[in-house]
Amino acid sequence: MALRATIHKADLHVADSDRHYYGSHSLTIAKHPSETDERMMVRILAFALQAQENLTFTKGLSDTDEPDLWVKDLTDAIQLWIEIGQPDERRILKACGRSDQVIVYCYGGQTSKIWWDGISNKLTRAKNLSVIAIPADQAKQLNGLVERSMVLHINTQDGEVYVSSEQGQVTITPEVWRTAQ
């Protein structure tokens, strides 16, 4: 018998003064049986940092042809492809060919740094790629905010991200390792 996804609900309130985006989103997040709470929370954080009208969660871990999040236009063309973790360079290059913009959010600390150092030279031709690292200790702190039904307030100002709920608050300082050209 296959394990089923765990469903989480999140009312997400985003105030991003860096991008001048302010909005609320009611999210239903299917957490794959092999996914950790930390990875799920980084997915939610990535949603908040890129929040826009057509941003949606995909099948993610359940479908290898889809990213974790994406934005498609009315013609079904992919405008934004968001990966969480440490995808291999072939997957990233494929995404760069299929999408206008690709963003990878990694969160493994030293492991992520080793991963990035190992593949960054192979991705020089991917002009539409950005890589953002969430410091490992800060990503782990997001675990303390996990509930089956969450109300999250995510405020971004001057590159600092403040994530708060009734469970507490976490300050995230994303590190930009590569910016799309």
At 81-112, the pLDDT tens digits run 999 999 999 999 999 999 999 999 999 999 99
| 3-state secondary structure at position 140 | helix
| Residue-level pLDDT at 4 | 84
> Rounded to the nearest 5 degrees, what angle is found at the Cα of 147, between the Cα atoms of 11 and 161?
60
Does domain 6-178 fall under CATH 3.10.640.10? My reply is yes
* Nearest CA among 96, 74, 73, 75 for reference residue 83: 96
Q: What are phi and psi of 104, to 5 degrees?
A: -110, 125
Domain extents in the chain:
6-178
Whole-prediction pTM value?
0.94
